[in-house]
Amino acid sequence: MRSLFCLLAVLLFGASPVLGWEYWGGDRGGQRFSPLNQITPDNVGNLVRAWEFRTGDLDARASELMKRTKFEATPLFVEDSLIFCSPFNEVIALDPGIGAQKWRYDPKISTAQRPANRYVCRGVAYWVDERAAENAPCRTRIFTGTNDVRVIALDARTGKPCADFGTGGEIKIDLGMKLEWPGEVQITSAPVIARGVLVVGTAMADNRRVEAPLGAVRAYDARTGQPRWSFDPLVHDGVTAGHTNVWAPMSVDEARGLVFLPTTSPSPDFWGGRRPGNNEHANSVVALRIETGELIWSFQTVHHDVWDYDLPAQPTLARIDTGEGQRDVVIQPTKQGFVFVLDRDTGKPVWPVEERAVPQNGAEGEQLSPTQPFPTHVPPLMKQSISKDDAFKLLPFGPSPCEKLLGDLRNEGLYTPPSTQGTAVYPMTGGGVNWGSAAFDPVNQILYANTSHAVHVIKLIPREEAKGFSPPPGHDFGRQDGAPFAMSRAVAMSPLGLLCNKPPWGEMVAVDLKAGKILWHSSVGTSEDLAPLGMAFSWGTPLVNGLAITAGGLAFTGAMDAYLRAFDAKSGRELWQGRLPVPGVANPMTYLWKGEQYVAIGAGGHSEAGTSIGDSVVAFRLARLREGPSLWSHTIDRPGGRFASKAIAAVIVLIALVALAWRWRKRRRLRTA
């Protein structure tokens, strides 16, 4: 029956079901939906670990170097292989059934460059040259961008460089200006290809300077590597300073010949006095003609951004029933938790978007927009304001440090401007929906997304004070050269290392787009791999990564703890957990190999979040006949389980927390006296 529904989806909604995972987002439009239905809510408890592959980075690299990595890659299933990239841009092909290495390519990037966004590679791109002979070398290609700003083309079957692409299989991007250091600009997300044109964006260091490196998106001939066009996402009119780039994953519509860019905020993030106006094409979904770079349309989600509310998520291309007929749309989730739904041909909102007044009185020299766009039909995926009453308190009595911290900040709700006093930015600059992006079920017209819930404290530091400023532990510091203020940024946390806002800190959300209705929220992740004694409090964890959904009725995701999880897509109930060697802060994927459905995820941890670090890809499948239960997975549809075994540890730690709180209150009384 589910297979019939998938066929109907193809006819009615334009979905393109495949049995593999040929693109970083599942398909060209990033739906992250698979028509595979072998694994269901009824049998997901029978999943066992099929194999684990280690890249070897953990053994081959210095521990200090590994502390600067983020393993965020999603494997592709192409050419009877799983193909992915390591944080150091090594491209590896595996046997899908046993996880054995088939080939490997090492671009030998320099590890002395210290990239601004850490060593990271979210994925590679696959392309078939239909003009080439069936067995010609490099008829099928893997493209990857690197941390040292190269684009490399490899034969998808052998891993050998494509000699006819660029120079010896690679091109070095000319950034047009001298960098402050070699890692100031890098490529972190997979390129996209359509109509023989390869498009790549770049990531760059935030908050270093107003005149940051040019953030142009560049296009190349996918066969030869010859430049085709470049597009500067920020309109420079002789007055506007700063630059905007595209670090997040892009999408393409092959039939229309369009590429969709999610653009960033202009430099620097938190003061925009030298870039007056709305800063056109920044913080926008931009549609370009992929063969020429011609601007077709642009829709801005934030005017004159001073909150680092850039677009981190891949634009999701879908066909939806709006209630007035079916339309091809672009669905763009944001860090604020908004969901903008735009007509794919014109960029106009499918449902009304209102301009609403927002807080004013920014820092000296600032020129804020008086209004910001708010979608009216699809509700926000998460709460968008916070007060000291929302402070997380382990104990029900007495004041808490978080109440004081939140109470001392400037806080007038969403879009409160940065200040020298210190401003509460909620959702945080890495909150809402991040690079993991959303998933869309074309059969049931439901959007799924992971969201992060935390508060950032943003403080502007006058230039004179910034000269000798030394940021406290846990604080980012940005010089913002060329602006009258530097900045500091920190996640609002208690002295015990807990987030200051009440849990959950990470949720999966399901939305009925047609009805404009949130169907359910479900907390994702526990404190097991972060808290003392492995206590598994179900508070959720921040979720920068995304999810994969299947026609079998499941949503799979990782979190900041070391589990791959399966949720019932209809109800949001968590059904199963598969243990990973370290957290899988990457997007999962699923594929069919020799009649069996597998689910795989990169498990390398996340140094920026302070998790344990690893170098694995892990795959699960249903248990075979007479195959025993796996020690690495279990269902959680009954009370107790592994959490009950840690009850004693939880009691011990709670007693310790009470004692700490009592001592803190006693010292506070003495200071007051």
Per DSSP (E only), the strands in 538-661 are 547-550, 554-557, 563-568, 574-579, 589-593, 596-603, 616-622, 633-635
The strand pair at 203-204 and 185-186 is best described as antiparallel
CA-atom Rg of the chain in angstroms: 24
624-630: which pairs have CB atoms within 8 A and are 24 or more residues apart? Answer: 627/48, 629/48, 630/47, 630/48, 630/49, 630/578
3-state secondary structure of 155: strand
Distance from first CA to last CA of the chain, Å, rounded? 73
Report CA-CA distances (Å) from 402 to 383, 405, 525, 657, 662: 18, 5, 23, 15, 16
**Which amino acid is residue 95, in one-letter code?**
D
Could you tell me which of 458, 468, 394 has the C-alpha nearest to residue 429? 458
Cβ-count burial 600-617 (b if 16+ within 10 Å, e if not): bbbbbbbbbeebebbbbb
Is residue 532 within 8 Å of residue 573, measured between CB atoms?
no
Distance CA 211, CA 270 (A): 14
Distance CA 277, CA 262 (A): 20
- The pair of structure tokens assigned to 173 is 């991007």
- The pair of structure tokens assigned to 386 is 């916070």
Of the residues 27, 206, 269, 308, only one is catalytic, namely 308
Reported as half-sphere exposure (CB side, CA atoms, 13 A), residue 16 has a value of 16
**308 an active-site residue?**
yes
- The pair of structure tokens assigned to 244 is 């905007």
Which residues are the active-site residues?
308
